[in-house]
Amino acid sequence: MKYLRWSLGVASLTVLLSGCTHIKFRLSSALTDLPADLAADFTYERSSEAPAIKVLESKREYCVKRVTLAAASGRTTTNRWITLDYYDLPRPGKTPVILVLPMLGGGYSLERHFANYFASRGYASIIVRRDRRTGSAKAEELNQLFRDMVVDHMQVIDWIETQQDLDAGRIGIFGVSMGGIKGALLLPLEKRIQAAALGLAGGDLPYIISHTTEPGLVKRREQELKERNMTLEESEARLRSVLKFDPMRYASYVDPKKVLMVLARYDTVVPIKKGLELKKKMGDPETILIPANHYSAVFSIPYIKSQSFEFFEKRFAATQLATGGDLTRARTKTSRTVLPPDAE
């Protein structure tokens, strides 16, 4: 039975990959700088509080540390904390770092899978754990939620710049589904990011929220329609009047050379037409189209991992070449003394 399941899995993966379309990036028109008035929405004062750090897990390959940062003072009225799971590598010199942006819900198993993969390939990885408000936010709260998300990740990059063993000149982001949507919003607003692998993402949040088939969001949408005594069309129109921070608003300011998109042809959770619209607005970056829906795309994870890693390697090499940095990167494992979980 185990062999049968393995055989079916390999067969499914073979069928999926045989229908993949890999569209390379072609040089497009000149990049337009982000206008100052759009950037002004995301200004913040850096927190002066020192981060709290605790070791969660120690392995020969990496040490996982829980890092807690105080959120920047700004437009929220309550104190918040930014929580990271940092995969610290026992390697000499500065290492590239990948920020893994989580999906809407779940227990971070998929995010840990990707973080572990990138760590095994020589990249420090950081899972930026989701804001606790994400799962219950109302329409009126979404603007603040997405604005805070962008600023939180800017603060994470501020912290990366203070770490002697992390290379702030080689920062990438990786996100799937809601993580991909977050990444699509963050990238044009944060120029320190050099590469982004965005999976199953899209723009036009009012449409996505109004038409997604994701069961949890469908249930919440139906409940809100009933409470407000509104039609779906009225609700979508209301969202368009309320939502300000949408990936589509900033997509034309993305450098398409920095982006690898992975879209599923039959996606109805993040409707594929909105993924394609975002791709076009971004300047048609390198894109992989897989013959799957939002959930069956899981069979393509090995391919997505390898293609994302190759893309990061290409982008980081180009970054170092442009800045005159050393193109070599140590990959051999070395020893580093790590503290037990309660020692920090």
Domains and CATH numbers, the chain: 93-124+131-321 (3.40.50.1820)
* Average pLDDT of span 64-75: 86
* Intra-chain end-to-end CA distance of the chain, in Å: 46
What's residue 3's pLDDT?
Answer: 38
Give mean pLDDT, residues 250-262.
97
pLDDT higher than threshold 50 for residue 268 = yes
* H or E segment to which residue 185 belongs: helix 178-186
Q: What is the pTM of this model?
A: 0.86
Concatenated DSSP letters for 109-157?
A: HHHHHHHHHHHHTT-EEEEEPPPTTGGG--HHHHHHHHHHHHHHHHHHH
Summarised one tens digit per residue, pLDDT across range 299-339 is 999 999 999 999 999 999 988 777 766 544 433 333 332 33
Tell me the longest C-alpha to C-alpha distance in the chain.
62
| Stronger pLDDT, 141 or 138, i.e. the higher one | 141
Query: Does residue 319 sit in helix, strand or coil?
Result: helix
Sign of CA dihedral 262, 285, 145, 161: positive
Query: CA 234 to CA 286: how far, in whole Å?
Result: 36
Cα–Cα distance measured from residue 262 to residue 172, given in angstroms and rounded to the nearest whole number: 16
Q: Specify the pLDDT at position 75.
A: 54
pLDDT interval class at 163 (50, 70, 90): very high
% of the chain with per-residue pLDDT over 90:
69
138 is written with which tokens?
């109302």
**pLDDT of 91-139, one tens digit each?**
888 999 999 999 988 889 999 999 999 999 999 999 999 877 765 567 7
pLDDT greater at residue 12 or residue 121? 121
Q: Is the dihedral of CA 99, 104, 108, 114 positive or negative?
A: negative
